[in-house]
Structure 1
Amino acid sequence: MNRAALFEQIKKKSSYLCVGLDTDIQKIPKHLLDLEDPIFEFNKQIIDATAKYAVAYKPNIAFYEAHGIEGWKSLQKTIDYIPKDIFTIADAKRGDIGNTSKMYARAFFEQMDCDSITVAPYMGEDSVKPFLDFDNKWVILLALTSNAGGKDFQNLGLNKGGELYEEVLRKSQEWGDTDQLMYVVGATRAEALQNIRNIVPDHFLLVPGVGAQGGSLEEVSKYGMNNHCGLLVNSSRGIIYADNSADFAAVAGQKAEELQAQMAGFLDKYL
């Protein structure tokens, strides 16, 4: 999916909601555990309930890898089930030397047919470039994350001025363009969004941390939105684990609808 098609979905649904499919077998409703593939069944019902409000889904690959080959099968079925006009993000956080990155890219772009993959940039250009060789596929680089340990390196000051995450934003723009690169910026770091927009004014930002992690959707929208929205705001636990009964999917749909309604208002206000 290219940037124009993604923006069309945002306008069509008045939404920039990404639903995170961090599907933990220990947290899904117990009545699903007797089914042949409880992880896929949970995802299927979540997708059915939220697809009208979401423009992206983001399976966290670790939650599938943990189950070995059966987990990979559940992941593939989930990717295949997501409607084709909805953007898919393999939240894999890969980052290795060129030949290895090339194999990761083939796995997620050719085999699984995901639209994008999250990548750690700290091994430099040759570890990222292989992912950029695929048409209409995206690399989502980790830039400024919201975890406590993110400050250990990302906010280190540089001799020439500025911080390390800022250099990642600047340097990586030499590797790919606004139709290839997005950046991860945690919602709880919303105070940095104005500065980030000065460095990458036209790129999409994937913003996790709204909802259960305490990030403010209004602040993210106010300071992060650009003239083509430029935001994919992720919510995982606040939607998929909002209810643990037989009505879990309906409640997830309600939570997604609530976020979409807020997003519609912010699109009218800030776009």
Structure 2
Amino acid sequence: MNQQQLFEQIQKKRSFLCVGLDTDIQKIPQHLKDTSDPIFSFNKEIIDSTAEFSVAYKPNLAFYESLGSKGMESLEKTVMYVKSKYPEIFVIADAKRGDIGNTSNLYARAFFDHQDFDAVTVAPYMGEDSVKPFMTYLDKWVILLALTSNKGAYDFQFIEDKESGDKLFETVLKTSQNWGTTENLMYVVGATKAEKLKEIREIVPDHFLLVPGVGAQGGSLQEVAKNGMNSKCGLLVNSSRGIIYASSEADFAEKAGAAAEEVQKEMEVLLQEAGLI
């Protein structure tokens, strides 16, 4: 999926919502735990109830890897289900990989050849040769960690270079633009750092940004849109817990759909105000 196709989906669905499939076996409704594959059963119902409001899904690999081979099987079934039933939806592996080149090449093979994700989140700390293997795939994307929403982001990401005055996250944004293009490179920018989005847009005006932290983490959708939206929207705003755990009862899928629709309606207004739909 290229940038224009992603934008067309945003216009069609009047939404830039990404639903995070952070599926915790301890939090899913009790009645699903008796099924042969509780994680996939949960994901399938969440996907079916939210697909009309969402342009992307983002499984966080930790929730699946923690369950061993059965968890990875659930993940593969989830990706295959989205790809077969909702092929227009962008699927992100929230894996935060990043290793020496030959290892990254194998990670890329795992996510793009074996599991058919559209994108994978990658850590930039080890530099260009750890990122480039992911970019050799046509119509696949790297989503590079730039400015994250967690408290520990201040430990390193705001360190200033004495000569340039750039903070580390700004150096990541500037340097990495030489590695990819607006057609295969996005950035993670946390919604809890929404005030920084205006500065970030000055550095990367045309790239898509994946923005976690709206909803349960307290980020403001309105602030994200005001500071981060560009001429093609340029935003995928993720909500995980606020949608998938809207209910822990038998009506969990219905409540998830209602929560997703509520976010989509807010996004529709923001897209209209920006003249994008």
Which residue of 205, 214, 217 corresponds with 2:218? 214
Q: What root-mean-square deviation, in Å, do the aligned CA atoms of Structure 1 and Structure 2 show? A: 0.5
The residue that corresponds to 2:270 in the other structure is: 266
Amino acid of the structure 2 residue aligned with 1:199: I
The residue that corresponds to 2:65 in the other structure is: 65
CA distance in 2, matches of 1:117, 1:81: 18
Amino acid of the structure 2 residue aligned with 1:174: N
Alpha-carbon offset, residue 162 of structure 1: 1.6
The residue that corresponds to 2:43 in the other structure is: 43
The residue that corresponds to 2:32 in the other structure is: 32
CA distance in 2, matches of 1:61, 1:269: 35
Cα offsets for 1:113-156 (capped at 9, x unmatched): 00000000010000000000000000000000010111100000
The residue that corresponds to 1:226 in the other structure is: 230
The residue that corresponds to 1:154 in the other structure is: 157
Is residue 93 from structure 1 mapped to residue 96 from structure 2 by the alignment? yes
Amino acid of the structure 1 residue aligned with 2:170: E
CA distance in 1, matches of 2:139, 2:62: 25
CA distance in 1, matches of 2:117, 2:253: 24
Q: Secondary structure at the match of 1:191?
A: helix
Is residue 121 from structure 1 mapped to residue 106 from structure 2 by the alignment? no
Alpha-carbon offset, residue 4 of structure 1: 1.1
Cα offsets for 1:149-201 (capped at 9, x unmatched): 11100000111212000000000000000001000000000010000000000
Cα offsets for 1:226-254 (capped at 9, x unmatched): 00000000000000001001000000000
CA distance in 2, matches of 1:9, 1:231: 12
1:99-248 alignment runs, 5 A limit: 99-159=102-162, 160-248=164-252
Q: Which runs of 4+ in 1 moved over 2 A?
A: none
Number of equivalenced pairs:
271
TM-score w.r.t. length of structure 2? 0.97
CA distance in 2, matches of 1:73, 1:2: 28
Alpha-carbon offset, residue 16 of structure 1: 0.1
Q: Secondary structure at the match of 1:92?
A: strand
Q: Which runs of 5+ in 1 are unaligned?
A: none
The residue that corresponds to 1:8 in the other structure is: 8
Amino acid of the structure 2 residue aligned with 1:110: D
Q: Secondary structure at the match of 2:250?
A: coil
CA distance in 2, matches of 1:119, 1:151: 19
1:78-89 alignment runs, 5 A limit: 78-82=78-82, 83-89=86-92
**Percent sequence identity over aligned pairs:** 67
Q: Secondary structure at the match of 2:152?
A: helix
Q: Which runs of 5+ in 2 are unaligned?
A: none
CA distance in 1, matches of 2:135, 2:11: 26
Alpha-carbon offset, residue 269 of structure 1: 0.9
